[in-house]
Structure 1
Amino acid sequence: MIQVSENINLKEITLKDHQTLYDLMCRIYPPAYINYWEDNGEWYVNDLYNSKNLQKELEDTNADYYFVVLDDKIIGILRVVWNLDTHYQEDKNYVKLHRLYLDQTIQNKGIGYQLMIWLINSATKKGYKKLWLEVMEKQDQALYFYQKLDFKEVDKVFIEFPLVYKEYRGMYKMVKTLN
């Protein structure tokens, strides 16, 4: 386990954790994105959190995948990809926050902020110059959160997931320059 703060830890996800991960995401993803999907997000959860995809993601040696644990209770996930090519910048010295999902019952308590500070500090210590992420255009709360952490919008893309309503397909790529 990696200690982020006094009561927040990161527990590495393994293949044997598949069912725990799947159950968690079935619980925490749909409430946040239910209006974005024709099927309430069921396709997304089934596609990303099935055992075959988990195995593929765990085989990526440039990625770290964790459960977020608060006071011994799993409350979310964090996935980071190191040395990821951004496909839009010459500089390859980037780290990507690939996923950060937290249970809505604990949001607005500073947990996401503590996780981001931990990630920013970890990336800086490893010599990375930039941290990037993608956030859905219509997720105002998430956009505001990342903007408060000095992330800047650098590009806009459109996701092609088949069951996302067209008006929710806009996604911003955001970058934070690290010290």
Structure 2
Amino acid sequence: MDSLQVNGQKYDLEPVKLEDQSRLYQLMELAYLSGYRDYWQESGHWFLDYSFSMPTLERELTEENCEYVFVKKEDKDLGILKFDFPSSSEKYPLKSAVKIHRIYLLPETHGTGLARELLHHVFRRATNLNAQYIWLEAMEKSAQAKRFYEKMGFEQVLSYTLPFEQLKPSHRQIEIWLREMPVDEF
């Protein structure tokens, strides 16, 4: 199990396993819905069912070159991180790219430096994989997340509309953000 140090505090990165599906879902009810509940017509549970169901987890855990972890402090789950290599968007094709697929943290961790260190963890992994790019998707209305990604050196390269009718029409725009490798400052 990997760990990170953030301001003198130790955080563990525990691999997500299939038998953790219920634990994962419950954590995402807190972490995901705290930031995105208002984006959905029915408060976001459709997305939780879509993204954190047993069939989805089973498929994702069998993908090669996928790192999917719980972020923990002591015995408390604080969020998740999932990234894939190689991964390219159909909307913005890239070669040799790492996709940060999910990074969701409980609100109590915001402003602690934990998200920054998680991205540095991904940067180190991407460097070891000889990736040329790191990319992610951010909701257009997620101003706080987008400010953070910009501070971390990402640039918006594309915007498109998600096909999910369960999203409120005003919240269907999503953006692809990209950062070139190598990243030297971590």
Q: TM-score, normalised by structure 1?
A: 0.95
Asked whether 1:16 is paired with 2:19, we answer yes
Match of 1:172?
175
Show structure 1 runs of 5+ residues with no match.
none
Shift of 1:33: 0.8
Q: Distance in 1 between matches of 2:94 and 2:102?
A: 22
Counterpart among 57, 60, 63 of residue 57 in structure 1: 60
1:80-159 alignment, distance < 5 Å: 80-88=83-91, 91-159=94-162
SS of alignment partner, residue 161 of structure 1: coil
Shift of 1:4: 2.2
Match of 2:164?
161
Asked whether 1:79 is paired with 2:70, we answer no
SS of alignment partner, residue 98 of structure 2: strand
Deviation string for 1:104-159 (max 9, x for gaps)? 12211110001011111221122111100000000000000000011011111111
Q: Distance in 2 between matches of 1:47 and 1:109?
A: 30
Shift of 1:91: 4.1
SS of alignment partner, residue 112 of structure 1: helix
Q: Does the 8 Å contact 2:72/2:78 carry over to 1? A: yes
Q: Distance in 2 between matches of 1:90 and 1:112?
A: 26
Q: Report the CA distance shift for 1:88/1:36 in structure 2 as closer, same or farther (over 3 A).
A: closer
Counterpart among 33, 43, 46 of residue 43 in structure 1: 46
Q: Across the two proteins, how many residue pairs are aligned to each other?
A: 179
Q: Distance in 2 between matches of 1:60 and 1:122?
A: 17
Q: Distance in 2 between matches of 1:137 and 1:89?
A: 17
State which drifts further: 88-97 or 17-26: 88-97
Shift of 1:99: 0.3
Q: Distance in 2 between matches of 1:29 and 1:99?
A: 10
Q: Report the CA distance shift for 1:105/1:91 in structure 2 as closer, same or farther (over 3 A).
A: closer
Q: TM-score, normalised by structure 2?
A: 0.91
Q: Which runs of 4+ in 1 moved over 6 A?
A: none
Q: Distance in 2 between matches of 1:166 and 1:15?
A: 34
Task: Kindly provide the amino acid, as one letter, of the partner of residue 53 in structure 1.
Answer: T
Q: Quote the sequence identity (%).
A: 29
State which drifts further: 143-152 or 71-80: 71-80
